[in-house]
């Protein structure tokens, strides 16, 4: 994100940054290695999540973008349904619980170039059907 540009867009008539915007909570979901941790760091504007190595459990990062508090939860990437029978569903739910009372936004991170196989489609369906009662 170009933070400076975003701040200008959000600035008040006096050009003071708007500093009283409500918090936004984001949950990052997606397959293994899709770029979730990288996307989280981009959103927060700093290296909060470790990238390039497998994220093993959900973790929370905080930041401020143009006066708005942003809370992001990074989650482990899921594999195929065969590889991840329950662990990733539990982690997804755990990640959402870290954003109590719940995420405003679920950001699904997908590689731009990928084959959408039946297995991948099934994995996506399984993980988005997590029971969201936190």
Ligand X SMILES: Nc1nc2c(ncn2[C@@H]2O[C@H](COP(=O)(O)OP(=O)(O)OP(=O)(O)O)[C@@H](O)[C@H]2O)c(=O)[nH]1
Q: What are 12's two structure tokens?
A: 């008040």
Binding marks (x or -) toward Mg ion, 33..72, rule CB under 5 A? ----x-----------------x-----------------
CB neighbour list of residue 62: distance below 8 Å, 6 or more residues apart: 44, 48, 69, 70, 71, 72
**Does the footprint of ligand X cover residue 33 (CB under 6 A)?**
yes
**Does the footprint of ligand X cover residue 32 (CB under 6 A)?**
yes
**Does the footprint of ligand X cover residue 127 (CB under 6 A)?**
no
**Does the footprint of Mg ion cover residue 84 (CB under 5 A)?**
no
**Does the footprint of ligand X cover residue 85 (CB under 6 A)?**
no
Phi, psi for residue 44 in degrees, rounded to 5: -80, -15
Could you say which of ligand X, Mg ion, none residue 32 binds, taking C-beta under 5 to 8 angstroms by partner kind? ligand X
**Does the footprint of ligand X cover residue 37 (CB under 6 A)?**
yes
CA angle (27, 18, 36) in 5-degree steps: 20
As a whole number of angstroms, the distance between CA 91 and CA 45 comes to: 25
**Does the footprint of ligand X cover residue 84 (CB under 6 A)?**
no
| Nearest residue to 1 (alpha-carbon basis) of 100, 124, 107, 99 | 107
**Does the footprint of ligand X cover residue 54 (CB under 6 A)?**
yes
Residue ranges that bind Mg ion, judged by CB under 5 A = 37, 55
């Amino acid at each position: 994100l170009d933070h400076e540009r975003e701040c200008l867009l959000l600035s008040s008539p006096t050009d003071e940054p708007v500093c009283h915007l409500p918090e936004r909570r984001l949950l990052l979901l997606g397959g293994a290695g899709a770029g979730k941790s990288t996307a989280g760091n981009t959103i927060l504007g700093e290296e909060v999540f470790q990238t390039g190595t497998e994220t093993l459990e959900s973790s929370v990062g905080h930041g401020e973008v143009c006066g708005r508090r942003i809370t992001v939860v990074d989650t482990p990437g899921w594999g195929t349904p065969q590889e991840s029978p329950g662990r990733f569903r539990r982690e997804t739910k755990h990640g959402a619980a870290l954003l109590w009372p719940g995420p405003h936004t679920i950001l699904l991170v997908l590689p731009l170039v990928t084959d959408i196989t039946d297995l991948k489609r099934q994995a996506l369906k399984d993980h988005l059907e997590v029971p969201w009662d936190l």
